Structure 1
Amino acid sequence: MFVMNRLNQKVQNPQFRLQSHEPFPLLCQQIANNRINSRNYRYIDKPIIFSFISEPQSPVEHLLDKFPPIGIQLFLIVRGSLSTEVLLVAFKKRYRVNYDAIVVNNLLKNENENYQFLLINVTSENILKQIVDYKETIHVILDVGALFIDGTNRDIAIQWLNLLSDKNTIDLYVVYFDSDSIVVCDRQLYHYPFVTSPASERLDRCIFYLYKIHARRTDFKFSMGFKAAVTLENGLTKDRFIQAGMRMRKLRNSHSLTFWSSYEVHEQIKTLKTKSPNKNDFIKLIDILRWVYKNTQQSTWEGLHHWAI
Structure 2
Amino acid sequence: ATLREFKATNGLMLDLLLEHAECAQLALTPASPVVGTATAAAPPPVPAAPQTQWQQLLDFVTARPELRAFIDAGALLAEANNRCIAQYLVHRLADCFHGVVFFDVASNAWHVLERQGKCLPLAQAGQAERDCFVLFDDSRCRGADMKLRPNAVAALTMGPGMTKDKLMQAAGRMRQLGHSQRLLLLALPDVGRQVLEHRAACGGTLDSPPTSSQQWVVVPPQLPDDEAAIPT
Verify same fold: TM over 0.5.
yes
- Separation in structure 2 between the aligned mates of residue 129 and residue 300 of structure 1, nearest angstrom: 32
2:179 counterpart letter in structure 1: N
- Separation in structure 2 between the aligned mates of residue 120 and residue 272 of structure 1, nearest angstrom: 25
What does residue 23 of structure 2 align with?
114
- Separation in structure 2 between the aligned mates of residue 144 and residue 105 of structure 1, nearest angstrom: 19
What does residue 129 of structure 1 align with?
59
CA contact (8 A) 1:100 1:242 kept: yes
What does residue 258 of structure 1 align with?
184
Q: Which has the larger radius of gyration?
A: 1
* TM-aligned CA deviation for residue 93 of structure 1: 4.2
- Separation in structure 2 between the aligned mates of residue 246 and residue 300 of structure 1, nearest angstrom: 19
- Alignment of 1:186 with 2:96, yes or no, is no
CA contact (8 A) 2:99 2:114 kept: yes
CA change 1:156–1:235 in 2 (3 A) is: same
* TM-aligned CA deviation for residue 119 of structure 1: 3.1
SS of 1:265's partner is helix
- Separation in structure 2 between the aligned mates of residue 117 and residue 94 of structure 1, nearest angstrom: 36
- Unaligned 5+ residue runs, structure 1? 1-91, 302-309
- Alignment of 1:213 with 2:139, yes or no, is yes
1:117 counterpart letter in structure 2: L
- Separation in structure 2 between the aligned mates of residue 261 and residue 252 of structure 1, nearest angstrom: 22
1:118 counterpart letter in structure 2: A
CA change 1:300–1:128 in 2 (3 A) is: closer
CA change 1:282–1:195 in 2 (3 A) is: same
* TM-aligned CA deviation for residue 275 of structure 1: 2.6
Equivalent residues in 2 for 1:131-210, closer than 5 Å: 131-134=61-64, 137-164=66-93, 166=94, 168-169=95-96, 172-179=98-105, 180-199=108-127, 202-210=128-136
What does residue 227 of structure 1 align with?
153
* TM-aligned CA deviation for residue 233 of structure 1: 1.2
* TM-aligned CA deviation for residue 259 of structure 1: 0.7
Deviations 1:131-150 (A, max 9, x none): 1123x511100001110133
Scaled by the length of structure 2, what TM-score is found?
0.77
* TM-aligned CA deviation for residue 299 of structure 1: 4.5
Scaled by the length of structure 1, what TM-score is found?
0.59
* TM-aligned CA deviation for residue 116 of structure 1: 2.6
Deviations 1:53-106 (A, max 9, x none): xxxxxxxxxxxxxxxxxxxxxxxxxxxxxxxxxxxxxxx948951111121122
- Separation in structure 2 between the aligned mates of residue 98 and residue 221 of structure 1, nearest angstrom: 25
Q: Which has the higher helix share?
A: 1
CA contact (8 A) 1:147 1:262 kept: no
SS of 2:215's partner is helix
- Separation in structure 2 between the aligned mates of residue 236 and residue 293 of structure 1, nearest angstrom: 14
- Alignment of 1:281 with 2:208, yes or no, is yes
- Separation in structure 2 between the aligned mates of residue 298 and residue 228 of structure 1, nearest angstrom: 23
Q: Which has the higher contact order (CA 8 A, sep 6+)?
A: 2
SS of 1:163's partner is coil
CA contact (8 A) 1:123 1:150 kept: no
Query: Cα RMSD over matched residues?
Result: 2.6
SS of 1:224's partner is coil
How many residues end up aligned between the 2 structures? 201
Deviates more, 1:280-289 or 1:234-243: 280-289
Deviations 1:211-260 (A, max 9, x none): 01202220112111111100111100011100011110111111100011
Q: Percent identity?
A: 23
SS of 2:123's partner is helix
SS of 1:113's partner is strand
| Equivalent residue for 2:11, pick from 87, 92, 101 | 101
Deviates more, 1:224-233 or 1:121-130: 121-130
SS of 1:115's partner is strand
- Separation in structure 2 between the aligned mates of residue 276 and residue 120 of structure 1, nearest angstrom: 31
CA contact (8 A) 1:144 1:216 kept: no
